[in-house]
Structure formats: structure tokens, C-alpha cells
Chain A
Amino acid sequence: MAEITLQHLRKTYGKVVAIKDLSLDIKDGEFLVLLGPSGCGKTTTLRALAGLEMLDRGRVIIGGHDVTALPPGKRGIAMVFQSYAVFPHMRVYDNIVFGLRMRGVSPGEQRKRAEEGAELLQIASLFDRYPAQLSGGQRQRVAVARAIVMQPDVLLMDEPLSNLDALLRLHMRAELKRIHREVRSTTVYVTHDQVEALSLGDRIAVMLEGEIVQCDTPARIYNAPANRFVGSFIGSPPMNFLSGTLRTVDGRLTIERDGARIPLPPARKVTAAPADGTVLVGIRPEHIEVTAAPAPEALPGRVVVLEPIGAQQLLTVRVGDDIVKVSTPPEFQADAGQQIWLRFNPDRIRLMDAQTGAAILS
């Protein structure tokens, strides 16, 4: 059993606040992804969890034990570093059993576990090589094997895929998912790549400037971003944001903009009233429909450019002063400058406070 609780972590480097006041609960066996732009404090959080950073404040609790004061080796964790940190002067086998040796595990048991780990990662044939004789992908497998033979309660990974080329990255992503299903260690995984996060995580904690801004399932993070930042960080292209006015018309919440009126489904409620009725309307590109004829609930716009992106096309539209990105089917056609109308799916609309950027619609 190894659930993790982080309580009010704070870490500063001189004047730089790397983690502000971070609290998080991670369930046993969960795959949790820390996602955020570079410099937001993901690595620092992970290293604090590993015991490689001294915290200014806060407590780290793993499996019910307060490990805040324990050294890394006594926390029941194992870590895969971004650089892999495979020991260059040791053969692959010695790398893999390094931790077991430090623990005083018997040689027979070392061998057995190394073979199991190597099988899981398909590197048994590399045992006698030195890291210099391995490719980047193989080195990374060694790093993962070295971590999992420890049978850690908690497995930590800091951007493990960022040094691989695109194809290998896709492949290893699937591998990591498989491995997690087999070993079931509680896993904390750091990345700045939202696609990775969406595909791997049971839950994603999105970080910004040393704080967690939203921690939720990938679906919720994608569909119901807690604020403007999360919406614009996740998805490619990200969520569109346009200003609009929120009114109650005939007892229904209605968004008004450029003469269009978009009534919202009656089930949706505002959780906090916007100051002066002005709101940010958030809508994903795939939840916009393009029509050639005007309609009362459709926003008028002009086509800027249409780009094919494989299975879909990406349409860029100018609506007033805003730019809106729309996903369209491959057969859709439009010319630059052409007048069109955009119809937003009212079930999928997010409303954000224009000032704070926080979501205000249930």
C-alpha cells in the first residue's frame, strides 16, 4: 500500500519560488501525471518527493509514513531520470542490480529479479554491454528496469521520453502503460507534453508557477478545464477563447456577441456571477460547426486560412477582433475572405470569468 500525500510543500531558491504551497493526494497504484510548462516546478516537486530536495516547508507522506526527513534510499521509491543517469562504468546487468546490491539482496534473488525486469523491458540480451554501446532507447529501458527491479512502492519518472525521437517516443509511451499495468506501483510522471499526459495518466495535475491549478482525470481536464490556462495549455490546437456577454433571456442563460445569441441548456448553472456580465467563452475547435447561411445562434466570421492536417482540416476564422480555430471534416471547402457562420455546441461551451480566467459554469 503506498498512497502518497503531499502537504503544503514550499521550496524556494533564493528569491525564486519553485513550489508555492502544494498539496496533493495520490491513490495507491495510481498513475499520476504532473503536467505544466517548463519552469513551473514539476521537477522540483518530483525531487522533493524523492528526497533529493530539502523543502522549506511541508510534509511528504508515503504509505502512511512521514518520510519528509528520510534520505532518498529509505523512502521506498525508485526514479527514472530525464538523462537516464545510467552508470557509464558499469555493465547493463550491474546497473540493473545496483539497487538490489545496496539493499543486500542475495545474488540468486538479484539474478532472478534482473531477469524478470529485463524480460519485461526486452533487454535481456544486453546484460553484458556497457551503456556507451547502447542506443538512447535501450539506455532508457535499462533505466526503467533498474527502477522496477526494486519493486518500489512509488515509481517516479521525470520526462523519461523527452530525449527519444518521435517514433520511439510513441512506442515507449505504450510500453510504459503496459509496464505500469503489470507492476502496479504508484507512479508519478512528469512531462510538459499534454498528449503524453492525456494518454498515460489516470489523473493529471496541471501545474503553473509552482501551484497545481487543476487535478483531475484526462477527460475532465480536456473537457472541463478549470480555468483559461488549462484550456489553452491542453489540446492542439488549444481551446478558443472569445469575450461575450452573459444574460438571462426568457429564464435561460444566454451568451450574446456580435448580434448572435447562444442559449445554454437549462441544466447548466453559473457557479459564480461575473462582475459586469462580461465572460470568456471557451470552446474547443471540434465543437464548432461551420454553416454557410446565417442563423440567430451563429457567430459571423471571415475565413483566414484553411490547412489540411491529416484526418482533419484546420480552419482559421476571424470573428470580430478574435481568431477562432475550427476543426472541419476533410471534404469541407472555403476560400480566404469568405463570409461564414460558426455555431458553437452549447453543451460543450465553457464560461470563464473575464478577469480571473476561472471557470464559472457547471
Chain B
Amino acid sequence: MTLRRLGIYSAVVVISAWVALPLVLITLAAFSPREILYAWPRRIWPERFTLDTMLFFVRSAGVLQSVVNSLIVAVLTIVLAFLISAPTGYALARYRFRGRDAVQLAILATKMFPATVLSIPLAVAFIRWGLYDRLIGVAIVHATLSIPFVTVIVSSVFVGISYELEEAAMTLGSSRLQAFLRVTIPMALPGLAAAAIFTFVLSWNEVFAATILTLNNRTLPALIINSVVAAGAPLHYRFAGGFFMVLPALIIILLIRRYLLTLWGVTVR
């Protein structure tokens, strides 16, 4: 019994280190003075921490604007994704109807064929539709990618809220809409917030579509990859950029931890 415990805990320690160590190291790199990143022998622990590297990154041409762009795209994505998928999530949770399985399948399929296949033909179409190099165009693609996730979270949220509560409200004099707004929505808010946060992460992180669909109005990942590929950005810029992009992920996992399993809890029969 104790041998088994020992086994479990050593595995846990090793795996935790494997996940955590790179995160610690990129943090160190982002706050180390620039010189030591290029020096040999290479110090692991800098003798002093500095904001210079991060400041250099943030002040580099286009970075601030691209962060703003990323935020705008993420917010637009959340709005679009909710307008489009929240009603479907609600329908899947509250109604049995013919074609329900087909709808679920169609939504799941989007999880299977993401950005790469969509972006290039869409870029061609967007040029025609006047959406190319515009943030709304990127948001549209990100919304498409987030549909399966938002749908399953929203539907699991509503499945968890008994419809009888709405019915009770109706017997007490509410209209259908009032019952939904006053009873179901307040209870659904934390779950819906988790869906919104996940959508934010998805959009914030997405590289391929953002790169293909923009030229001047880059999002942060698009800007970074472009400066790596085309301009050969220096190492400290890359490390600071990497750290900057990871930052939201850490906070966000904490916020949505209850829904982690819902996001990917999908089974192929």
C-alpha cells in the first residue's frame, strides 16, 4: 500500500516538474538581463531581475497595437461565438428534436478540421468581401473555431439547471422570457463566463488564421511569428513574447477549472 503511494507521488512529482519547469524557465528568461541570455557560461539564475527585456518587447514596433488588436479580436470573437452558439447549446440541453444528433455531429466536425484548411480559401473570399486584413474577419474565423467549445459548455451549463425552476417561476406569474432571464440566466452566469474565457484564450492564441488573414492589422501571435520568420527577431524579444503570451493562460486555467473536462469530454462511439 505505501509502496503504491510512493509510486504515485514520485510519478506526480516528475510529471509536475516536466510541466512546470519550462514555465519557470521562460519566466526567468523574460526577467533576466539581456546580456546573460547570450553569455557563456550561461547562468540559470540571473544575479538580478530586470524589466528591461519585457520593456524592450512591449516597446518594439507594433507590439502594443497588436496587443490591442488581439484584445479587440478576442472580444469580437466572444460576442460572435455567443450569439451564434449559445442558442444551439440551449436547444441541445432543453429540447429533444429530430436531427439533434446530426446537429451535434456537424458541430463536432468543426473541432476536427480547424484553422489551416479554413484560412487560405477564406482569405481569398475575404478579399472579395472586403473583410481581408480587418479584425472582424479574424474574429469570424476564431468564432467558427470556437463554436464546438462554446456549444458544449453552454449546453452542459443548461443541462445542469433544472427546467422545473423555470416552470416554477411560470406558475408564479412569470412569462417564459422572464422566467429564463430571472431564474436560469443568473444561475448560468458562472458557466457562461467560463465559456467566454475559453473563447478568449482560443482567440488570443490562434496563429495561423490571424497570420493569413491580416497584413497590417496584426494580432500579437501574427506579429510575433511574422517577426520571427521575416525579420529574424532577437532571442530576448522571442522569449519575452513567449512569456507575454503565456501569462493569460495561467490565470485562465484557474478561472475555468471546473469546466476543463466538459471542453474535451467527447467520445467517439
Contact = CB atoms under 8 A, between A and B. Distances in A.
A and B touch in the complex (CB under 8 A): yes
Interface stretch (B38-46, B111-119, B168-176): B168-176
Given A83-B162, A83-B164, A102 B171 contact: no
Contact of A150 (B165, B172, B186): B172
B167 interface: yes
Interface of B is mostly: helix
B175 A146 contact: no
B187 interface: yes
A87 B183 contact: yes
B172 A71 contact: no
A72 B170 contact: yes
B179 to A, nearest CB: 9
Contacts of A150: 172-173
A197 to B, nearest CB: 23
Given A85-B165, A87-B183, A89-B186, A52 B170 contact: yes
A350 to B, nearest CB: 40
Nearest to A156: B171
A73 B171 contact: yes
Contact of B167 (A77, A85, A102): A85
Interface residues of A, number: 23
A73 B164 contact: no
A88 B175 contact: no
Interface residues of B, number: 17
Interface string B198-232: 00000000000000000000000000000000000
Contacts of A78: 171-172
Contacts of B176: 71
B164 A99 contact: no
A73 B179 CA distance: 11
A87 B171 CA distance: 13
B178 interface: yes
A114 to B, nearest CB: 13
B150 to A, nearest CB: 23
Given A52-B167, A52-B170, A102-B173, A85 B162 contact: yes
B183 A73 contact: no
B174 A85 contact: no
Contacts of A98: 169, 172
A234 interface: no
A71 B168 CA distance: 12
Interface string A66-78: 0000011110011
B167 A73 contact: no
Contacts of B170: 51-52, 71-73
Interface of B: 162, 164-165, 167-176, 178, 183, 186-187
* Top 8 closest pairs, chain A to chain B, by CB: A99-B172, A85-B168, A102-B173, A73-B173, A79-B171, A72-B170, A72-B171, A85-B164
30 contacts: A50-B171, A51-B170, A52-B171, A71-B170, A71-B175, A71-B176, A72-B167, A72-B170, A73-B171, A73-B174, A77-B171, A78-B171, A78-B172, A79-B171, A81-B168, A83-B164, A85-B162, A85-B165, A88-B165, A88-B187, A89-B183, A89-B186, A89-B187, A98-B172, A102-B172, A102-B174, A102-B178, A103-B173, A150-B172, A150-B173
Interface of A: 50-52, 71-74, 77-79, 81, 83, 85, 87-89, 98-99, 102-103, 146, 150, 156
